[in-house]
């Protein structure tokens, strides 16, 4: 174990606590590398993720020598697949393809994750390839220009998807000038302007041992994992004897958001209006996060939810309609989505807002509370059958929450939520400034009613 | 077991054979209901599917008293969630939501499937609800009109997705007048014209005991499953003592397709061109289907594939590029997809065709063959960790193939494929008429080169 600090169940180390599950282990190497694993009995496969707590929100806060460019985090993510001194891009692709593994990466607003799902016997290969990519990518200038074209096509694809466009604009609308409001991938201008030197500086500044978090779930033995990882990182050229503390987690103090009630319309000659409406939500560590899960479930998740019943079942106004809560370290979003006919968009927006205000005014029923708890527990149990869900849960525990919560503990917390808690949270949410984004053949006048406080008087009974 | 015919491993019954896996069982009830299960050791969840071998292709071949309407199969699928004598639509939604289960349905070209994924303890509930929906749905006229609005929104959503539009048009282009070429959901005109009587006739004609196939995978005991199912179907009003043979599988004789090389452009003011190009493929029972899997994998699946390397890695022309093979009882499709800039669409189309012709001319390497076999085996092993994949595999075995093939047997067949087999199949494919569909800001003149046989002379080395 080479001097790693190991965290048994229930103890606390560097602000990290683990509750409930004896099969989760965490080690901090002297170099600051953190390793978390969850062994799943009977599993024959494994998912491994290499994480850094750097996302699109950090692009102008990176401490590299050159200014980073919007979209450079995502650009770098692409380039890590393009070759090292030891492996060409094709070598990397063949390594995973030839064993039928999944390998990919995800750039988010607050982190970047490179991951692979493979059969148990292929875990050492996956660790070797990911460690090489993470430490030793070349960012070859020719590959850089080639990949620029790929990324521009990726942005074009998203630009042709009205739901994607609505989502990007919704974050801007709700979070205002906060860096979490920016699109993850940059835009065509910033990608065309991106330089290899700036992305290289970004790589050097943010992919150090103390930045790396490795999480693994499935068929994994923790001690062997730590040994394999140390060997792979050392072989790739890292000095793991140099002492460094892990990078600290971000501040969890809610940010001040300068944003007001507003309607944004992106006019497009398409069939549906893609409608998003919502307010600033909770930060990831907010103590009301279990309450938010219950509210979001009863209000807008599943076919029995308020939104589905009111908008689709009773009126046939939409095919897809739901709510969502997304939480980051210092800001969050609570939103509602529907895709509907242009002539009905104003009605749907008013219905969505009215339903949320109805919960604020009257709460949910004990039946709805009970069902939401059952839904959250059952859905979590099913989701945790996939090792990638468990791998991500470990990453979120380390990077965002500072604690690991197993299913039993999560259910215990959910069971403590009361109808009063849900109503109070709904009251808090409806008091915040509503933003509305519509992409489609519509205009702002359709939504004045939904954005006025008077919307609560609409009769939707 | 009430007189059910039970199929042990390796035996053949009614043209159905099972090879390799002792945990698969099949029963045929006297009423013609078929039940297949696969018990997965250690699983705590289960996926159940209720299938009928009726899809959009059958809409004018249904033997109901009234003529069916295009889209009526999909319309009926929606209506089965809208209530029975015993359960309202909300009751059904609450049953599944309150345990966090997934429940949904899928209308395809040759079948319709209602399915649920739940924890083991909730399987009897899922069987009870699905049996009630399948046997006793009311198709209430008011719900019918409401759901018409929902389906029109679903069609609009698909109509706003350029990749969806390209896919629908591609099937029409390759399969011509064959009923498999039609869109599954109908179109707004046929949905607006649909009547409750026609959909009711469709329901009565095609949802009889001899039409029903139930497949279950995960935490399931076959004998208990058959008992639960018989009780649920009887309770819902079915007479399971009436004797009927199961409906026969479709003809697997390849259909004559009247189709020629053609370019179809759907002009849209969007950023990317969504490009599909391909030819008629193999039927589902073709003895070359393992060869097709190997060809499709080496040619267009994964980052090391020919298409990905030529179009994305070497030239940066697309973000998403791949090939696919879809097989039905009497027709199939082999296709290639890319999303790219309008100015590059002609080049990408020529590259795709040239690469396929290169395989026809020179074959693939032994290395590529070996990698493709590894990729197929590993990806299948990972996919089979999900009980829904196993549930679907059973349905496909019963409805389409007439045999169950476990992973070991599938790998054995893949290992028999030679480089010559792959080259021969590629030669066969390139001799068939190519169709090309492009959705985006382009026109037919961009693709003349790709659709001419002379495309093979393009230098893409």
Rounded CA gap, B444 and B442, in Å? 7
Per residue of chain B (461 residues), what is the pLDDT tens digit?
334 444 443 444 445 666 555 689 999 999 999 999 999 998 999 999 999 999 999 987 444 444 558 999 999 999 999 999 999 999 999 999 999 999 999 999 999 999 999 999 999 999 999 999 999 999 999 999 999 999 999 999 999 999 999 999 999 999 999 999 999 999 999 999 999 999 999 999 999 999 999 999 999 999 999 999 999 999 989 999 999 999 999 999 999 998 878 999 999 999 999 999 999 999 999 999 999 999 999 999 999 999 999 999 999 999 999 999 999 999 999 999 999 999 999 999 999 999 999 999 999 999 999 999 999 999 999 999 999 999 999 999 999 999 999 999 999 999 999 999 999 999 999 999 999 999 999 999 999 877 764 343 334 33
- Name the residue among A150, A164, A335 with its Cα closest to residue B161: A164
Residue A14 burial class via C-beta count within 10 angstroms: exposed 0-12, middle 13-18, buried 19 and up: middle
- Name the residue among A161, A380, A320, A381 with its Cα closest to residue B104: A320
Inter-chain CB proximity B149 and A317 less than 8 Å: yes
| B252–A contact, CB cutoff 8 A | no
**Chain B residues with beta carbon closer than 8 angstroms to that of A119:** 378, 381-382
pLDDT at A17: 65
Ramachandran class of A15: left when φ > 0, alpha when ψ lies in -120 to 50, beta otherwise: left
Dihedral sign of CA atoms B353, B357, B360, B363 in order:
negative
**Chain A residues with beta carbon closer than 8 angstroms to that of B119:** 378, 381-382
In angstroms, what CA-CA distances link A382 with B79, B101, B115, B118, B216?
A: 27, 8, 15, 7, 16
pLDDT at A35: 97
pLDDT at A4: 44
A285 pLDDT exceeds 80? yes
Rounded CA gap, B359 and A34, in Å? 46
Q: Cα–Cα–Cα angle for A214, A217, A221, nearest 5°? A: 85
The residues of A annotated with a catalytic role in the active site are 77
Average pLDDT over residues A376-383: 97
Inter-chain CB proximity A378 and B44 less than 8 Å: no
What's the token pair of residue B363? 């074959």
Q: Please name the residues in contact with B182: beta carbons below 8 A apart, sequence gap of 6 or more.
A: B56, B57, B59, B70, B171, B172
User: From 3.40.50.300, 3.30.230.10, 3.30.830.10, 3.40.50.1980, which CATH number describes the B263-457 domain?
Assistant: 3.30.830.10
Rounded CA gap, A390 and A216, in Å? 8
Rounded CA gap, B453 and B357, in Å? 10
- To the nearest whole Å, the CA of A319 is away from the closest chain B CA by 5
A23-55: per-residue pLDDT in tens? 899 999 999 999 999 999 989 999 999 999 999
Instruction: Domain ranges for chain A, please list them.
Output: 11-235, 263-457
Inter-chain CB proximity A101 and B314 less than 8 Å: no
Average pLDDT over residues A176-201: 93
| A343–B contact, CB cutoff 8 A | no
Q: Cα–Cα–Cα angle for B285, B290, B293, nearest 5°? A: 110
**Chain B residue with minimal CA distance to A100?**
B375
Q: Are A115 and A133 in contact, with CB atoms under 8 Å apart?
A: no
What is the bridge-based pairing of β-strands A273-280 and A435-440?
antiparallel
Rounded CA gap, A371 and A419, in Å? 12
Inter-chain CB proximity B370 and A98 less than 8 Å: yes
Average pLDDT over residues A270-284: 98
pLDDT at B16: 63
User: A11-235 has which CATH code?
Assistant: 3.30.830.10
A131-169: per-residue pLDDT in tens? 999 999 999 999 999 999 999 999 999 999 999 999 999
Inter-chain CB proximity A99 and B147 less than 8 Å: no
User: b/e map of A240-265 (b: 16 or more CB within 10 Å)?
Assistant: beeeeebbebbeeeebebebeeebbb
- To the nearest whole Å, the CA of B147 is away from the closest chain A CA by 6
Inter-chain CB proximity A100 and B378 less than 8 Å: yes
Q: How many CB atoms lie within 10 A of CB B178?
A: 20
Rounded CA gap, B42 and B222, in Å? 16
Inter-chain CB proximity A100 and B148 less than 8 Å: no
**Chain A residues with beta carbon closer than 8 angstroms to that of B380:** 100
pTM for the complete prediction? 0.93
Select from B45, B315, B376 the Cβ nearest to the Cβ of A382: B45
A409-451: per-residue pLDDT in tens? 999 999 999 999 999 999 999 999 999 999 999 999 999 877 7
ipTM of the modeled complex: 0.92
Rounded CA gap, A217 and A37, in Å? 6
Of these residues, B38, B59, B77, B355, which one is catalytic? Answer: B77
Helix axes B141-159, B162-175, angle to 10 degrees: 90
What is the bridge-based pairing of β-strands A262-267 and A435-440?
parallel
Band (A460; pLDDT cuts 50, 70, 90): very low
Inter-chain CB proximity A319 and B45 less than 8 Å: no
Inter-chain CB proximity A381 and B102 less than 8 Å: no
Inter-chain CB proximity A303 and B340 less than 8 Å: no
Inter-chain CB proximity A93 and B374 less than 8 Å: no
Select from B99, B150, B159 the Cβ nearest to the Cβ of A316: B150
**Chain B residue with minimal CA distance to A46?**
B382
pLDDT at A260: 79
Which A residues in the span 94-123 are in contact with B, Cβ-Cβ below 8 Å?
A: 94, 96-102, 117-119, 122
Residue with token string 């699928």: B77
Cα A48 to the chain's mean position, in Å? 17
Residue with token string 């919704």: A170
Select from B147, B272, B374 the Cβ nearest to the Cβ of A160: B272
- To the nearest whole Å, the CA of A148 is away from the closest chain B CA by 7
pLDDT at B69: 80
**Chain A residue with minimal CA distance to B340?**
A153
**Chain A residue with minimal CA distance to B41?**
A42
- Name the residue among A245, A252, A232, A225 with its Cα closest to residue A26: A225
pLDDT at B22: 60
**Chain A residues with beta carbon closer than 8 angstroms to that of B382:** 45, 100-102, 117-119
- Name the residue among B406, B442, B445, B395 with its Cα closest to residue B35: B395
The continuous run of DSSP H or E covering A444 comes out as: none
pLDDT at B260: 79
* Best residue in A303, A364, A387 for a mutation probing chain B (most B CBs within 10 Å): A303
User: b/e map of B244-265 (b: 16 or more CB within 10 Å)?
Assistant: eebbebbeeeebebebeeebbb
Mean pLDDT of chain A: 92
Do the domains A11-235 and A263-457 sit in the same CATH topology, yes or no?
yes
* A261-264 contacts at long range (C-beta below 8 A, 24 or more positions apart): A261/A433, A261/A434, A261/A435, A261/A451, A262/A173, A262/A433, A262/A435, A262/A436, A262/A451, A263/A435, A263/A436, A263/A437, A263/A438, A263/A444, A263/A447, A263/A448, A263/A451, A264/A169, A264/A172, A264/A173, A264/A435, A264/A436, A264/A437, A264/A438
What is the bridge-based pairing of β-strands A24-28 and A45-52?
unpaired
pLDDT at B50: 98
- Name the residue among A103, A380, A385 with its Cα closest to residue B385: A385
pLDDT at A75: 97
Q: Are B302 and B308 in contact, with CB atoms under 8 Å apart?
A: yes
**Chain B residues with beta carbon closer than 8 angstroms to that of A153:** 272, 316-320, 339-341
């Amino acid at each position: 174990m080479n001097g790693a600090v190991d965290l048994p169940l229930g103890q606390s180390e560097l602000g990290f606590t683990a509750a409930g599950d004896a099969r989760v282990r965490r080690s901090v190497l002297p170099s600051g590398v953190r390793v978390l694993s969850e062994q799943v009995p009977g599993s024959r496969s494994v998912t491994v993720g290499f994480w850094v707590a750097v996302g699109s929100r950090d692009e102008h806060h990176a401490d590299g020598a050159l200014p980073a460019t919007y979209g450079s985090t995502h650009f770098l993510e692409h380039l890590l697949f393009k070759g090292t001194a030891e492996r060409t891009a094709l070598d990397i692709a063949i390594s995973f393809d030839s064993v039928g593994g999944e390998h990919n990466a995800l750039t988010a607003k607050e982190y970047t994750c490179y991951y692979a799902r493979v059969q148990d016997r292929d875990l050492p290969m996956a660790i070797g390839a990911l460690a090489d990519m993470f430490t030793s990518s070349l960012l070859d200038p020719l590959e850089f220009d080639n990949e620029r074209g790929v990324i521009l096509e990726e942005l074009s694809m998203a630009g042709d998807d009205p739901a994607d466009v609505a989502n990007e604009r919704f974050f801007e609308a709700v979070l205002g000038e906060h860096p979490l409001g920016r699109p993850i991938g940059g835009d065509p201008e910033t990608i065309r302007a991106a330089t290899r030197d700036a992305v290289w500086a970004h790589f050097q500044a943010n992919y150090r041992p103390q930045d790396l978090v490795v999480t693994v779930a499935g068929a994994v033995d923790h001690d062997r994992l730590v040994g394999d990882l140390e060997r792979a990182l050392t072989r790739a050229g890292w000095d793991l004897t140099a002492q460094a503390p892990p990078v600290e987690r971000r501040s969890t103090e809610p940010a001040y958001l300068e944003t007001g009630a507003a309607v944004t319309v992106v006019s497009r000659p398409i069939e549906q209006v893609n409608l998003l409406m919502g307010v600033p939500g909770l930060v990831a560590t907010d103590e009301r996060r279990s309450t938010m899960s219950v509210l979001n479930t009863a209000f807008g998740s599943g076919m029995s939810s308020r939104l589905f019943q009111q908008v689709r079942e009773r009126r046939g106004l939409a095919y897809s309609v739901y709510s969502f809560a997304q939480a980051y370290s210092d800001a969050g979003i609570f939103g509602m989505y529907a895709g509907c006919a242009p002539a009905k968009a104003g009605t749907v927006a008013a219905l969505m807002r009215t339903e949320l205000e109805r919960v604020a005014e009257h709460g949910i029923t004990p039946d709805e509370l009970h069902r939401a708890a059952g839904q959250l527990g059952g859905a979590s149990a099913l989701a945790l059958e996939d090792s990638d869900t468990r791998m991500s849960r470990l990453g979120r525990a380390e990077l965002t929450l500072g604690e690991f919560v197993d299913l039993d503990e999560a259910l215990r917390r959910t069971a403590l939520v009361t109808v009063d808690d849900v109503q109070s949270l709904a009251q808090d949410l409806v008091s915040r400034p509503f933003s509305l984004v519509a992409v489609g053949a519509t205009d702002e006048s359709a939504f004045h009613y939904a954005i006025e406080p008077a919307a609560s008087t609409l009769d939707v009974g």
